Amino acid sequence: MSRPAAAARRTHKGEYIETDTGNKISRKSHIDGKQHIMLGGRTVVMAGVQMRGDLCRVAEKSSDGGAEKEGPTTAIAVGSVDVEIMVQRGTIISTNSVLRPPMRLSRGQMTCYPMRMGDNIFIGPGSHISAASISSHVYIGANCVLSPFCVIKESCKILPNTVVPPHMIVPPGSIVAGRPGRIIGEVGDGWGQGGGGGEGEEWVEGGDLRPLVRSIK
C-alpha cells in the first residue's frame, strides 16, 4: 500500500488495516490503482473513501524512459513523499470522501495529473478532492468540493460546504468559504498551535494530528 515493499499486516481484527509505516486503511474504503498511491505514514483512510489511483498519467513509451520512474506514475501522494526523509505525520481522510486526481484535455488527449498532499491535513467527511496540491496543516471541513487543479497552500481552513473553483490558488493562512469559494479571512497567528491538552483536545485544527490518528481504531 504505502511503499511498494511495505506489506500490509493485520494488527487486530478491527476496521483498519495498519501498515508498517502506521497507515490505517479502512477495510470499507475503495482504492483503485494501489501501485500509484503513496502514503507517507500515519495516514488514515476511513470507510467509504474512494481513492482513484488508477487515474494516473500513462507512461510515455517514447524517447525518455527515465521519466517513467518518478512523478508521472504517482497519482496520489499523501504525506512527505521524499522517501529518504520520511516524516511520520498524519493526514486524515474522513468517511465517504473522494480523492480523484485532476485531469484535463491536453493536445486532444485526456491527461491525468498527480495530486500531492502534505502533512497533517484533515479532510472532512463527504468531500470531493481533485486539487493539484494541498500543503501541510490544512483543514478541510465536511462536504467540500476542491475542484480540479486548485492549489491549497499551507495552513488554510476551508469551511464546510465550500466549493473551491477550478484553478484557484489559495494563499497560505486563508479561510475560504462559499460557492464559489472566496477568501473570507485569515487564520489566527496561532493556527495549529496549542495542542497538547487533555484527552480529546490534544489536536487542534491545523495542528499536529498524530494524536487523532492514534485515537482512530
Partner 1 sequence: MAAPWANTYYACPCSELSAAAPPNVSNGGTPLELPGSFDNGEEGSTFDPHNPRANYSLYPLDNLLYCDECDAIRCPRCWIEEVINWYCPSCMFEVPTSAIKSDGNRCSRNCYNCPLCTSPLTISSVASPRPVEDSLKPSDAARPQESYLLQCQYCDWTSLDVGIQLDRPTKITEQLVRLRKSKDTKTDPISVSNREETFNNLTNFYKEELQGSTESQTPFGNSPYNSPANLARIMSLYGGVSHTALKKSREKPQPMREASSHSQGLLVYTADKSDAEEEILQRLKELGWNGTTTGEQRQMAPVNNDARFLGQLWPVATALRTRRGRRCRSCRQFLTRPDPKMGSIRYKIRLLALNFIPRLSLKPLNAIPPPSNPAFRLTLDDSPQPLLQPFTPLQYVLTIRNPIFEKIKVSLATPDTTPGKVASKVTILCPSFDVGPAGDIWDEALGSSTTTPSAANDGGRKAAMASLTGSTTDTDRQPEAGKIWEKTRNSTSVILEIVPGSLKPPSRIVTLTKQEREEQAPRQDDDRLEIAVYVRVQWETHEEGPEAGLGKRDAERKMPSGEAKVAKELAYWCVLDVGKIADV
Return the bridge partners of 92, or none: 44, 122
Q: Any idea what DSSP says for residue 9? A: B
Smallest separation (angstroms) from partner 1 to the CB of 186: 9
Residue 18 makes contact with partner 1 by CB under 8 A: no
- Tell me if 46 contacts partner 1 by CB under 8 A: yes
Contacts of 121 (CB under 8 A, 6+ apart): 78, 91, 92, 134, 136, 137, 138, 139, 140, 209
Contact by Cβ (8 Å): 21, 40: yes
* 204: contact with partner 1 by CB under 8 A: yes
Nearest to 59 by CA among 36, 34, 83, 82: 36
Distance CA 43, CA 90 (A): 5
State which residue, 36 or 203, has the beta carbon closest to partner 1: 203
**Identified binder of partner 1 from the candidate list 21, 33, 73, 211, rule CB under 8 A:** 211
Across the beta sheet with 122-123, what order do the strands follow? 16-18, 24-26, 43-45, 91-93, 122-123, 139-140, 157-158, 174-177, 182-186
Is 65 a residue that touches partner 1 (CB under 8 A)?
A: no
Name the segment binding partner 1 (CB under 8 A); options: 31-39, 50-58, 69-77, 176-184: 176-184
Listed ranges 4-12, 27-35, 55-63, 202-210: which one lies at the site for partner 1 (CB under 8 A):
202-210
- 171: contact with partner 1 by CB under 8 A: yes
- Whichever of 70 and 189 has its CB closer to partner 1, that residue is 189
Subset of 68-97 contacting partner 1 (CB under 8 A): 92, 94-96
The cell 474504503 sits on which residue?
29
Q: Which is nearer to partner 1, 33 or 211 (CB)?
A: 211
> Closer CB to partner 1, residue 38 or residue 209?
209
Least distance in Å: CB of 61 to partner 1?
Answer: 28
Coil vs helix vs strand at 114: coil
Q: Give CA–CA dist 46/86, Å, rounded.
A: 22
Sites of contact with partner 1 (CB under 8 A): 46-47, 92, 94-96, 122, 124-126, 139, 142-143, 147, 154-155, 163, 165-174, 180, 182-183, 187-194, 196-205, 211-212, 216
